[in-house]
Structure 1
Amino acid sequence: MTRSIPPARDSRTAVDKAMSLLSAFGDDAYIGVGVSELARRSSLSKSTAFRLLATLQENGAVERAGNNYRLGKMIQDLGATQEDALQGRMRDALTPFLADLYVLSKQTVHLAVLQGTDVVYLNKLYGHLQVRSPSRIGGRAPGYCTAVGKVLLAYNPDAAEQAMASGMLSWTPSTITSPARLRTELLEVRRTNLAYDREEILTGLNCIAAPVFGTNGRPVAALSVSGPVGKFVPESQATSLRKVCYAASRAVAAVSGQQHQTRRQLAQSA
């Protein structure tokens, strides 16, 4: 008769298990991972992983993303994206236009750029209609389920295909997870230069975004206006958003032209 061997007892402390669970997010930290997969990666039972996640969620270390979990505000703030020189210049150059957009809309406005397949929020001004939002200055979010991300992915086919190939998780019941459907929407974004997030990253939040173009005809950033469902109609901000982004694009072109002229003068005097 073969005697079954009981599984080895996990001698790790609760803190060790929690740290292992947090480390298990890996590259999916901002996108979301299911309980079963986190348990597998951290060599924990599903029940133990679920119990630890509940505790971590209570303390802001993780948060729910649909049926999955992602790192929460506390952890994300500790590891916020370090701004490089180009992003710093972009933030400084475009923040005045973000302020113009806020004055016109009185709603929460964002300035974002694309990094890989994610968006990085360079600045944010809070509007009169307060709404819970996953965006934070220096934070990241998947591009496929945000308005600013769709605007930027629409002009970057390689990044868009990479986002679709990596698997688009459902953050809310409204999140677009079909590559075919997202391709269709990105084509419409290219046609209108407007993108929408209709409760796709967070239930109760709507958003509209438009591109800020560089001299090469591709967006260098995106501006957006967001507000709570039922009180905010994204389409109502289309005209103001287009106006501000047009002015911002002209400013970017002027700065680029001045830099090109300066480089040419330096080269001639050398």
Structure 2
Amino acid sequence: MTSSERDTRTAVDKALALLTAFGTDAAVGVGVSELARRAELSKSTAFRLLGTLERNGAVERAGTNYRLGPMLHELAAPVTMPETDLVRDTFTPFLAHLYERTRQTVHLAVLDGPNVVYLNKLHGLQHVPAPSRIGGRIPAYCTAVGKAMMAFNPALTEQVLASELAPWTPRTVTTPEALQRELARVRAEGVAFDREEIRMGLVCVAAPIMSPTGAPVAAMSVSGPTTNYDPRSMAPALRAVCGEASKAYAARLRALRRHS
């Protein structure tokens, strides 16, 4: 649309154009200027409409960018698959045990392409606002749970390294080289860290739960405020609980095969 042409679209048309403009970047996030360009809107109009969409849960802030919000995720949520039920039912008792050992906020997540999906979350006594929510999706590269699983998934790692690593905070790892180094440390140490990479003031440690074949099935994490929480102190408890969860998952699979 040229500057001389009058935009005759209704406000609803323009809002839908903005939502469509996210495209494949819906989970990573897109800046206002880029969304305005894609939707053929002025930046001021895009900013105003995004504010309305944010108040209604259709979009949410992702650092300096916007991404699709919880309302649209809930509308588009797929029917729960039996495998997801198996993972959640098997690991939730271990998540509760991890909470009892740490008294911090704990998460259970799985991979969905280049994103993590949170299956369960228990809030700690020191609650810190976080973008994670049950059923929510966040790019794997800027979360501890995501890095814990990516480190043992070469195909996904290659896919993520070839894509844009948008910054959610000033501390987000945004270069392929730095992310590769982090994933190598995860493989060596068995735990991954998020050091204010998804939200300033929030740090997290995570470990993978492995299948009998050595592939990551899920991950658990322990998060807390930077003011009085050292994520490294939770690494031993996390490794122990995730190790027990891996054994329980293998036993559950053996039982299912016997009765199938």
* Local SS of the residue matching 1:257: helix
Partner residue in 2 for 1:7: 4
Structure with higher Rg: it is 1
* From 224, 227, 232, the counterpart of 1:227: 224
Q: Does 1:211 align with 2:203?
A: no
Give the TM-score normalised by structure 1.
Answer: 0.90
Partner residue in 2 for 1:113: 110
Percent identity reads 57
* From 162, 167, 172, the counterpart of 1:170: 167
CA distance in 2, matches of 1:56, 1:100: 38
Question: C-alpha offsets along residues 199-256 of structure 1, whole Å, 9 cap, x if unaligned?
Answer: 1111111110001111001221101111122122111111111111111111111112
CA distance in 1, matches of 2:73, 2:226: 26
**Structure 1 unmatched ranges of 5 or more:** 264-270
Once the 2 structures are TM-superposed, how far is the Cα of residue 22 of structure 1 from its aligned partner?
Answer: 1.5
* Local SS of the residue matching 1:155: coil
CA distance in 1, matches of 2:3, 2:105: 56
CA distance in 1, matches of 2:223, 2:80: 24
- Is the 1:145–1:175 contact (alpha carbons within 8 Å) kept by the matching residues of 2? yes
CA distance in 1, matches of 2:49, 2:4: 21
Give the TM-score normalised by structure 2.
Answer: 0.94
Partner residue in 2 for 1:194: 191
- Is the 1:112–1:222 contact (alpha carbons within 8 Å) kept by the matching residues of 2? yes
- Structure 1's 32 and 81: CA in aligned 2 closer, same or farther, altered over 3 A? farther
* Local SS of the residue matching 1:100: helix
Partner residue in 2 for 1:236: 233
* From 35, 42, 50, the counterpart of 1:53: 50
The within-5 A match list for 1:18-33 is 18-33=15-30
The within-5 A match list for 1:30-179 is 30-80=27-77, 82-179=79-176
* Local SS of the residue matching 1:88: helix
- Structure 1's 55 and 249: CA in aligned 2 closer, same or farther, altered over 3 A? same
Once the 2 structures are TM-superposed, how far is the Cα of residue 174 of structure 1 from its aligned partner?
Answer: 0.4
CA distance in 2, matches of 1:250, 1:211: 12
